[in-house]
Structure 1
Amino acid sequence: MPKQIVFLHPDLGIGGAERLIVDSAVALESCGYNVSIITNHHDPKHCFEETLQSNLSVTVVADWFPRSIFGYMTALCAYIRLILATLYLLFYEKKPDVTFVDQISAPIILLRAFGYKTIFYCHFPDLLLTKNKKFLLKKLYRIPIDYIEQISTGMADIVLVNSKFTSNVFRETFTSLSHVQLRILYPIANEKSLCLPTSAQFQSDHQSKYEYRKYLSSEIMPEKAKIIFVSINRYERKKNLSLALYSLGKFLIFPYSLFFLSRLPILIIAN
């Protein structure tokens, strides 16, 4: 009998974390596992196609609970929303062989109490993403949330991180979890889910648009470019896109860097 795997995810929209969950779920399903996703939000008009077209079972729980309270307490509301989804899993669904918890680790406390096997995927410690901790009320508000994040993360049977960088940040941040073994699972793009604009595709009556690509135009990518910097991120402040410019600037002032180059380096910022 195929093993059952359940993914717990706060918002199954369109983003890097969601892409990882969808690709992981589809890959496991293709290997013969029974896979389902329990999430707090899933908009059929704003989601990855696989969640609509595949055999994945997507269940939305607690979408009625607010995401914030007058624009505040976003983290607390996110915790409550996913905990409500966890309670649904505990009392209304058959116990899975493995529960894959993404982003918010708080549900692991409940899952462990009921003997569930858990995998937690850490994209980045949430406590480091919080702004304005210098304010006393904000600091007091974050104390229990940060504590829950740390102890619940340590309770997972397996902790996955998305890179060596995140692994190092994890170690520096969660000092009490030095005993936890971290495993790196790199998010890998599924080539079948990639689609270039029409202008960047060969048109063919016999081939899929995914099967033929043409190179970026020479206006974007000079043929003789030797050093290329690439930044692929969403266009938003928290992604720190200025780091790409900073890196390029540091390279340009590095002694003798341009002496060996016939052309200036190229920076491509894509979204």
Structure 2
Amino acid sequence: MAFVALYVLLLSGEHADAFVCDQVSACIPVLRLARIRKKVLFYCHFPDQLLTKRESFLKRIYRLPLDWLEEFTTGMADCIVVNSKFTASVFKDTFKSLSHISPDVLYPSLNISSFETIVPADIADLIPKKKKFLFLSINRYERKKNLSLALEALHELRGRLDSHEWNEVHLVMAGGYDERVLENVEHYEELRSLATKLKVNDHVTFLRSFSDEQKISLFSNSVCVLYTPSNEHFGIVPLEAMYMRCPVIAVNSGGPLESVLHNVTGFLCDPLPTQFSEAMEKIVRDPLLKDTMGAAGRDRVMEKFSSEAFAEQLYQYICRLTQ
């Protein structure tokens, strides 16, 4: 990042009105080397020091100067924006020396054009026939994503439905997967074992490293998306689901508190199987919720999370900096 920033300065730094720096703040001191002082906007998605584990003494020592550098260089920006109100609160708690700064919120946008140009794939081989209520979970196969909550909620839902209704229910667990990542491999097997233990394996399809074409088809055929992580920085999946007119059942913490409107575009629940299954039951009992919540979700994405909304807000920040 520092090298790229230096290259930009040498190539066209004098012609720029302002610099926008995304995620990595270490390049900000380089950008300030410009002969004619230029303003810098920094977009903080989440403090980097909170994304790395400190399991050993040596790792903690190694990270000390990097953590200090991140906080110091972040404070050098002329304007700081974050991706959610949740991240803004974490920013305050993490960067103690920057407590005088109150970052603005610039919500990420959804690349809507990609949803309109992709040709949906045939997913008939992924879903058993005569499944009227398809629930969808999309997330990486990582333990912190709490994917087991979706399986436990499905098990709870079974007790709420009669046999006919239950036979019409299916869950697709679609997730990012890399066989070189040990946690992905282990957690995938853990989830399969849990599904067997809960006796819902006949109602679950596990899909690894799905394509964009498959994702579009899954959204189109699902009655609801289950979003299980807690304290997610923002979360793009709820936006994708809402744009595809699919209600979202999400944990009532982190980014979904700002993207999902409870009882309007979906349901916000405690991370408990009973609460998730209760929301799932509402979708099954009242199929019209799919249409009403789906339409509200599409409207919300277009109003607050479209590329146009993002561009307009970013433009205002840049104008303010360069006045």
Task: State the TM-score, normalizing by the size of structure 1.
Answer: 0.49
Relative to its length, the structure with more helix (as a share) is 2
